[in-house]
Amino acid sequence: MASVQIADVRKAYGSTQVIHGVDIDIDDGEFVILVGPSGCGKSTLLRMIAGLENISGGEIRIGPKVVNDVPPKERDIAMVFQNYALYPHMTVADNMAFSMKLRKAPKAEIEERVTRAAQILGLANLLERYPRQLSGGQRQRVAMGRAIVRDPQVFLFDEPLSNLDAKLRVQMRTEIKELHQRLKTTTVYVTHDQIEAMTMADKIVVMHDGIVEQMGAPLDLYDNPNNLFVAGFIGSPAMNMLKGKITAAGFEAVNPKGGASLVWPIGKAPAGSEGREAVYGVRPEHVRLDPNGIKAEVVVIEPTGSETQVVVRCGGQELTCVFRERITAQPGESIGISPDTSVTHLFDAASGKRL
């Protein structure tokens, strides 16, 4: 096991730079998730750690060693691919044993390791099957088994769950997390799904357009997003964002329809920010039903049983709210809402930075 240090790493294809100087420190045994929308460079970064892409600038260290020019096979890492990349002409056992066979490990040890990995992953009675004969979740497990057998310094996961159905994804999420707690191998995991990131990571790295937007513990990112991008990306349903101006009374939101503008309460405006153009952010789950609050018209109601997601319109803008209570109001009717001012966010309109 080893730490991974990524220092000012850049990647360019010809004159197009796709990763603009990324610094990430991954501690030994840590579970780090790179998350971001498609095209943000997270997979490229992972492939650079694996050695499948050249590093255009900067340095990647695995343990104490700079690996920029070390070929993938000598980096002692194992990777789980999005499409699993199982060898279709080998049985499950052979797939898992392949790397050990290449290393000419003694037969008995290969068998012992394969058996152990198969037990951990519940593949013991599938060892003689071919990948084609397995379901998606089983293939996923074989891909992980192949990584475990190696006992590498670092595990890399490239969107491993995106080909699974929703239910299996939740189950595999737990399994991967459990596996990590058991093996304590340093893990770098790439996903575009922020829920995966929130639920599994020790540390989340939010990437966007080739830079790191914010890095930190999941709940820290949720509570204190550094900028508009992270605020909008982390959390589901996404945070409501209203454009407007900070005034003495609160936050005066612009009414895009041209009607009267609404004033939203702010817990504590930063000093000297009055009159500033800003963006007001409130998470759907931080809006409460409040008969004395802001009057809003119900547009759509989506009950999930445990909670009710309601889209409301007020001040010419649509907002998503999530209530723990069940709602009797019908679309078209009016309800009163008020944001929990202790957890509202303000961002600078121009830079998008947190105020």
- Please tell me whether the peptide bond between 71 and the residue prior to it is cis, using omega within 30 degrees of 0: no
Contact between 102 and another protein by CB under 8 A: the answer reads: yes
Stretch that binds another protein, among 37-45, 74-82, 112-120, 207-215 (CB under 8 A): 74-82
CA 35 – CA 42 distance, rounded (Å)? 7
Nearer to another protein, 61 or 129 (CB): 129
73 binds another protein (CB under 8 A): yes
User: Interface with another protein by CB under 8 A: which range of 25-33, 48-56, 201-209, 278-286?
Assistant: 48-56
Structure tokens, 224: 């204190």
Is-contact 319 354, C-beta < 8 A?
no
Task: Tell me which residue of 277, 268, 323, 272 sits closest to 296, measured CA to CA.
Answer: 323
What does the alpha-carbon distance between residue 129 and residue 121 come to, in Å, rounded to a whole number? 15
Helix axes 136-150, 92-102, angle to 10 degrees: 20
Give residues 136-155 in contact with another protein (rule: CB under 8 A): 146, 150
Site track for another protein across 53-72, x = CB under 8 A: ------------------xx
Q: Which is nearer to another protein, 83 or 351 (CB)?
A: 83
Q: Give the chain's largest Cα–Cα span.
A: 78
Q: Determine if 331 is a binding residue for another protein (CB under 8 A).
A: yes
Note whether 301 binds another protein by CB under 8 A: no
Examine residue 98 and tell whether it contacts another protein (CB under 8 A). Answer: yes
Nearer to another protein, 102 or 166 (CB): 102
| Contacting range for another protein; rule: CB under 8 A; set: 77-85, 182-190, 236-244, 316-324 | 77-85
The answer to the question of residue 105 lying near another protein (CB under 8 A) is no
Total residues in contact with another protein, by rule CB under 8 A: 33
Element (H, E) at 100: helix 92-102
Q: How far apart are CA 278 and CA 283, in angstroms?
A: 16
Only one residue has tokens 């930190």, namely: 216
User: Taking contact as CB under 8 A, which single stretch among the options 111-119, 126-134, 214-222, 268-276 is the one that binds another protein?
Assistant: 126-134
Contact region with another protein (CB under 8 A), list: 26-34, 46-54, 237-245, 318-326: 46-54
- Reported as type and span, the H/E element at residue 299 is strand 287-303
Does 83 engage in binding with another protein (CB under 8 A)?
A: yes
CA distances from 195 to 33, 36, 66, 204, 233 (A): 11, 12, 33, 11, 10
Q: In angstroms, rounded to a whole number, what is the distance separating the alpha carbons of residues 309 and 352?
A: 27
Q: Which residues bind another protein (CB under 8 A)?
A: 50-52, 71-73, 75, 77-79, 81, 83, 85-90, 98-99, 102-103, 130-135, 146, 150, 297, 331-332
